Structure 1
Amino acid sequence: MAEALKKRSEMDPQFQWDLRDLIPTEKALEELFSELESGIGRYEGFKGRLGEDAAVLKEYLDHDVAMDLKFSRLLAYAIQKRDEDTSQSASQALLSRAQLLLSRAMEASSFAEPELLGIPEPVMKGFLEDGALSGYRLYLERILARKEHMLGEREERLLAGFGQTAAAPSAIFTMFNNADVRFQAVRGGDGEEIPVTHGSYGTLMESRDRSLRQAVFHSYYSSYRQFSNTLAAAYEGHVKQACFTARARNYSSSREMSLAANEVPEQVYDSLLETIGSRLPALHRYVRLRKERLGLPELHMYDLFVPLAGGTDKRYPYEEGKRLILEGLKPLGEEYGKLLETGFSSRWIDVYENQGKRSGGYSRHVYGCHPYVLMSYTDSLDSVLTLAHEMGHSLHSWYSDHAQPPAYAGYTIFVAEVASTCNEVILFQHMIRQAETREEKESLIFQLLDRFRSVMFRQTMFAEFEWETHKMCRDGIPLTADALCSLYHGLNEKYFGPDMCVDPEIDVEWARIPHFYYTFYVYQYATAFAAAVTIGQRIFDGDKNALEGYFNFLKGGSSMKPTELLKLCGLDMEGPGVVNAALDVFESLLGSLE
């Protein structure tokens, strides 16, 4: 019988992140709460005074940034404590306490932006020219650019107080998906009972036993189907909140509001959907090739993950996975490699799945502390790539934090996915070049094609689903489970083409995607993948200018607009060129296998 998941307390600490680097003791945690309580009280002393002179404004901004840094540390600690075991009520209570305090801080400081926007233009111009505020010039200019979307002080206070309520749908989904949902175990070919979990699902779907894949697929999605009405209500609540806020802030749509927050033109989104849509015949060719290689009369959704060549059956224990990443990413230079080694050896990473652990993976950083990575490593090539991906995020954060002041150290999601995916692309190229047999090389090419399918095509399909659901909400169309399943089924038929049997179970896949609660997030995986393919190939080929531009990009933080940061790498993201160039690579790889 397969081994059941261990409790958190039964795991080897060397494979768990060390949160003491964030907050070392319970005493330090309570001291941080006290400092934040006191800091909230200080906001009242600035009210009505921001236009007095540059010195007062700087004092306020220094205080606000200091509060942001403290809240960042507190929330990172609370979220990560919850995520390492979501069944623990104490961690849930800690996070709720931190979020409540943050909501109070947002209410207390809600006067600031309306007050800043009310400062007469000649006065603000003088402030911006004052040397004391030189470190905040871009920060203030970004606030002023949102002037038409800011409300009065009372309305801003109400919206700030609404924030914690607005987060409820996401919190409901998170608790359901990580603490409550259970999947029925399945029987293997030898009759043994095999548990189905978030962590094991991907590995089981790679099994060459088609009956097992089908059983796992049915088990997994049956659980979501059982709760589809509840999950539809949670998702509709999230979408309604986004649409309400967009209307309140005078945006034409929730998408415009979300993209504006990252300074990304909506044309980037539309261009992605249009360009991918025009190149779907390439994905249909891939589906047909997979069907032929597997020798199947019908290709089902549960056949999308089984390796198409023997080389991908290779297992990569964690130590081997780390060694492969260090070797494969050598084109990024010696310093980059040493930072990777530090992360691997200093407990930045929470490696293996345990009971109650949040599914998926992420990298989280706090200014003044090293980044952290959460994942569920399973010795698969996909786990190696996930580790490389998340460490790409982490080192992006490290370089940005060390090159930028706190106000500009953070970066938008749009550029974040470039750094992480670039690691994957370079690692893939290394492995393909080092392949010892034709079979291994072919299997790696198939894996890279699968990466295109799952990132460029599938994430664009997610982006189209998300945009359609937000438009439905805007137009007053209820987001029922049936409506969402129907929309999702149609998109799968469109994207995967005539050679794919779109199983009814997949209709409810939307109900398990956590990123749909990060409004208009998923499209950035596809745009970033396109950018990363271009950058990674240039670096792998030894282009020193590309490498220099890439490290300037990594150090840029939010000191420039995202599209301007990518121009440091020689990329223009506002047209279809970068996406088309990446799809040309996909078709070239596909053609070589056909």
Structure 2
Amino acid sequence: MSVGLKKRSQMDKEFQWRIEDLFETDSLWQEEYEKIKELNAKVREFQGHLGDSAEKLYQYLRLCDEINRLLERVYVYANQKSHEDTTNTTYQDLAEKASNLMMVVNSTGSFAIPEILVISEEKMESFYKENQQLLLYRRKIEQIFLDKPHVLPKEMELLLAEASEMGNVPQNTFSMFNNADLKFPVIKDEEGKDIEITHGRYIRLLESPDRRVRREAFLGLYQTYEKFKNTLAGLYSGNVKKEIFYAKARKYNSTLEMALDGSRIPLSVYENLIEAVHESLPSMYQYMKLRKRALALEELHMYDINTPIVTDFNMKVPFEEAKKLVAEGLKPLGEEYLNILTEGYADGWIDVYENEGKRSGAYSWGAYGTHPFVLLNYQDNLNNVFTLAHEMGHAIHSYYSDATQPYPYAGYRIFVAEVASTCNEALLMAHLIKNAKEEREKAYLINYHLDQFRSTLFRQTMFAEFEMITHKMAEDGQPLTVDTLCSLYYDLNKKYFGEAVMIDKDIEMEWARIPHFYNSFYVYQYATGYSAAIALSEKILTEGQEAVEKYVKNFLKGGSSKDPIDLLKGAGVDMSTKEPVKEALNVFAGLVEQLDQLIK
């Protein structure tokens, strides 16, 4: 008999997020939903009049803020309730209603940017003098003018806004398939008991000391995806074609250029990342050789690269202990930061354990004016301790930005989104290594740290390269067939892992299970963010209070009040250069050497 998951209704409330802090009931959600529609109807009154006066423009921008604040709440609640159990049709419907309403709001306001763009610079300057309150929106308006080459006439903007729901079909379909419909086989665990492979359990199964368990989990997962390979290739190709359509419509030279332009990131940042990692692949090859030797394997397979190579040491960490460990590791960030962390633990921010139908993975999300929410699928291992530190880093970043910045600038750009979370992980790792009680524990932790580099800096860069190549192929008119995608992905694994690893054919299907591929050119920021985080954590540990103050004041509290590159410069890291990535990769190389000395 297989060991299944509990239903949502069977889960302990103590370990569920307090979603009622957004809306106590669905009926209150419905009231706010209706209010948004009423407010949105008023938007049309401004059409054709944004250039009439400073007051008219200010009133329009204020109305948009009110609508978007409420829409954020409605959208987040509906989706988070759906994520609690993706098979619950009630919340699937609410999420769809929220998505449709977002499309309507975007469509209704699609006239605004073209209208603002015809206001002359001189007239806009007079508006700022005429109405001082409009100065709140000065940066926002300046950003609109920077996008002028990519803004279309209002009729075309309306058409693109109305097409947005259709454009989300590949992502939404993949999400429902991956989280609700896809079922993986049951295998035997280390004790011979039946265990069902799930998204939440997969990595833990790959970390098993029992190679049979690792191999069966690996094959069970990828052979399940392989059954649907043509459908999944069609979805991925459809998403890429959508991106190409929008890039062409908005007069960008490529989908990559369009994706980076939103955060004002130069193309060279993306290209430098891949180049720097390519230059450091010999260190990865050395690590794989060390792993093969330490595990005493004739062949090192893809299902062998997650299991700890220090086999006589293990860290089983229940959730309550994980909370304490994270708090200890983050002490260098100061008392104020720790107080916010404690508040998050105690006040219903976190949804802890996996249940039947729950969305896989982990994230931090929320709406302005309410505390952040963190979704976990916690398992009692070290990896999940770092996931807790990571997601609370996101949450506290949002908490600081929301508390400091006015609504138009509270949300931070994607490029910096992974920095605070990964800085938390780096600080926690430094604490654990420093306090290791024996050589085996230290070796175990360094091994874990190396695997963080492998999975974040190297692996996400490989993902980024896959995206760059597939989008370029499609832009050049080459079809993205399942054979093309699998062949490319297999070859990239050979390139990134080297000759010490037997690249199993099944790994060619891994591209088909990566949700972030439906948010194009997102994953590279895990790698750049990791590099920035390593640099920032080193500054915090070596420079102390001064570095913490710069980090909190200039970065965590910054929201989108400056461009991402400038926010990081204010905290002490210049990501416009190749140096932070190279520094992080040098740390990786040094850790490989240390582990080589510890593993005899």
TM-score (norm 1): 0.99
One-letter amino acid of the structure 2 residue matched with residue 253 of structure 1 = S
- Is 1:5 the counterpart of 2:5? The answer is yes
| 1:149-298 superposed matches below 5 A | 149-188=150-189, 190-298=191-299
Q: Secondary structure at the match of 1:541?
A: helix
Cα distance, 1:375 vs structure 2: 1.0
One-letter amino acid of the structure 1 residue matched with residue 324 of structure 2 = R
Contact 2:436/2:442 (<8 A) preserved:
yes
Measured in 2, the distance between the counterparts of 1:446 and 1:542 equals: 27
* 2:583 corresponds to which of 560, 581, 584: 581
Measured in 1, the distance between the counterparts of 2:346 and 2:202 equals: 28
Cα distance, 1:3 vs structure 2: 3.6
Measured in 1, the distance between the counterparts of 2:155 and 2:414 equals: 30
Cα deviation 1:533-562 (Å, max 9, x = unaligned): 111122123532211111021000000000
Contact 1:75/1:99 (<8 A) preserved:
yes
Q: Which segment is superposed worse, 118-127 or 381-390? A: 118-127
Cα distance, 1:568 vs structure 2: 1.1
Measured in 1, the distance between the counterparts of 2:313 and 2:399 equals: 32
Cα distance, 1:482 vs structure 2: 0.9
Cα deviation 1:158-201 (Å, max 9, x = unaligned): 00001011001000000010001111111245542221111111
1:568 is matched with 570
Q: Secondary structure at the match of 1:373?
A: strand
Cα distance, 1:524 vs structure 2: 0.3
- Is 1:147 the counterpart of 2:148? The answer is yes
- In structure 2, do the counterparts of structure 1 residues 382 and 312 end up closer, same or farther at CA, with 3 Å as the change threshold? farther
Measured in 2, the distance between the counterparts of 1:332 and 1:83 equals: 32
Cα distance, 1:218 vs structure 2: 0.3
2:99 is matched with 99
Cα distance, 1:311 vs structure 2: 6.6
Cα distance, 1:413 vs structure 2: 1.2
One-letter amino acid of the structure 2 residue matched with residue 334 of structure 1 = E
| 1:21-420 superposed matches below 5 A | 21-130=21-130, 131-188=132-189, 190-310=191-311, 313-420=314-421
Q: Secondary structure at the match of 1:194?
A: strand
Cα distance, 1:265 vs structure 2: 1.2
One-letter amino acid of the structure 1 residue matched with residue 79 of structure 2 = I
One-letter amino acid of the structure 1 residue matched with residue 420 of structure 2 = A
Measured in 1, the distance between the counterparts of 2:228 and 2:264 equals: 37
2:593 is matched with 591
> Which stretches of structure 1, 4 residues or longer, exceed 4 Å deviation after superposition?
none
Measured in 2, the distance between the counterparts of 1:187 and 1:434 equals: 36
Identity of aligned residues (%): 47
Contact 2:389/2:421 (<8 A) preserved:
yes
Cα deviation 1:68-118 (Å, max 9, x = unaligned): 111111110011011110011111111111111111111110000011111
2:547 is matched with 546
1:556 is matched with 558
One-letter amino acid of the structure 2 residue matched with residue 87 of structure 1 = T
- In structure 2, do the counterparts of structure 1 residues 36 and 189 end up closer, same or farther at CA, with 3 Å as the change threshold? closer
Cα deviation 1:28-55 (Å, max 9, x = unaligned): 1111011111011011100000001111
Cα deviation 1:323-373 (Å, max 9, x = unaligned): 111111111111111111111111111100000000000000211000000
Contact 1:312/1:381 (<8 A) preserved:
no
Contact 1:299/1:499 (<8 A) preserved:
yes
Q: Secondary structure at the match of 1:568?
A: helix
1:483 is matched with 484
Cα distance, 1:263 vs structure 2: 1.5
Cα distance, 1:312 vs structure 2: 5.3
Cα deviation 1:186-238 (Å, max 9, x = unaligned): 12455422211111111111111111110110001011111111011111111
One-letter amino acid of the structure 1 residue matched with residue 25 of structure 2 = T
Measured in 2, the distance between the counterparts of 1:222 and 1:310 equals: 28
Measured in 2, the distance between the counterparts of 1:14 and 1:189 equals: 30
Measured in 2, the distance between the counterparts of 1:424 and 1:188 equals: 29
Cα distance, 1:571 vs structure 2: 1.1
One-letter amino acid of the structure 2 residue matched with residue 111 of structure 1 = F
Cα distance, 1:124 vs structure 2: 2.1
| 1:503-518 superposed matches below 5 A | 503-518=504-519
Contact 1:328/1:426 (<8 A) preserved:
yes
Contact 1:310/1:439 (<8 A) preserved:
no
Measured in 2, the distance between the counterparts of 1:507 and 1:403 equals: 46
Contact 1:269/1:523 (<8 A) preserved:
yes
Measured in 2, the distance between the counterparts of 1:191 and 1:8 equals: 27
Contact 1:312/1:444 (<8 A) preserved:
no
Give the gaps of 5 or more residues in structure 2.
none
Q: Secondary structure at the match of 2:571?
A: coil
RMSD, aligned CA: 1.1
One-letter amino acid of the structure 1 residue matched with residue 85 of structure 2 = D
Contact 2:174/2:235 (<8 A) preserved:
yes
Measured in 1, the distance between the counterparts of 2:179 and 2:423 equals: 29
Cα distance, 1:150 vs structure 2: 0.3
2:432 is matched with 431
Cα distance, 1:25 vs structure 2: 1.7
Measured in 2, the distance between the counterparts of 1:462 and 1:446 equals: 22
Q: Which segment is superposed worse, 126-135 or 555-564? A: 126-135
Measured in 2, the distance between the counterparts of 1:124 and 1:574 equals: 31
Q: Which segment is superposed worse, 123-132 or 554-563? A: 123-132
Contact 2:457/2:530 (<8 A) preserved:
yes
Cα distance, 1:374 vs structure 2: 0.4
TM-score (norm 2): 0.98
One-letter amino acid of the structure 1 residue matched with residue 59 of structure 2 = E
Cα distance, 1:27 vs structure 2: 2.6
Contact 2:4/2:195 (<8 A) preserved:
no
One-letter amino acid of the structure 1 residue matched with residue 278 of structure 2 = G
One-letter amino acid of the structure 2 residue matched with residue 396 of structure 1 = H
Measured in 2, the distance between the counterparts of 1:410 and 1:548 equals: 20
Contact 1:311/1:444 (<8 A) preserved:
no
Measured in 1, the distance between the counterparts of 2:64 and 2:180 equals: 35
- In structure 2, do the counterparts of structure 1 residues 450 and 129 end up closer, same or farther at CA, with 3 Å as the change threshold? farther
One-letter amino acid of the structure 2 residue matched with residue 581 of structure 1 = E
Q: Secondary structure at the match of 1:110?
A: helix
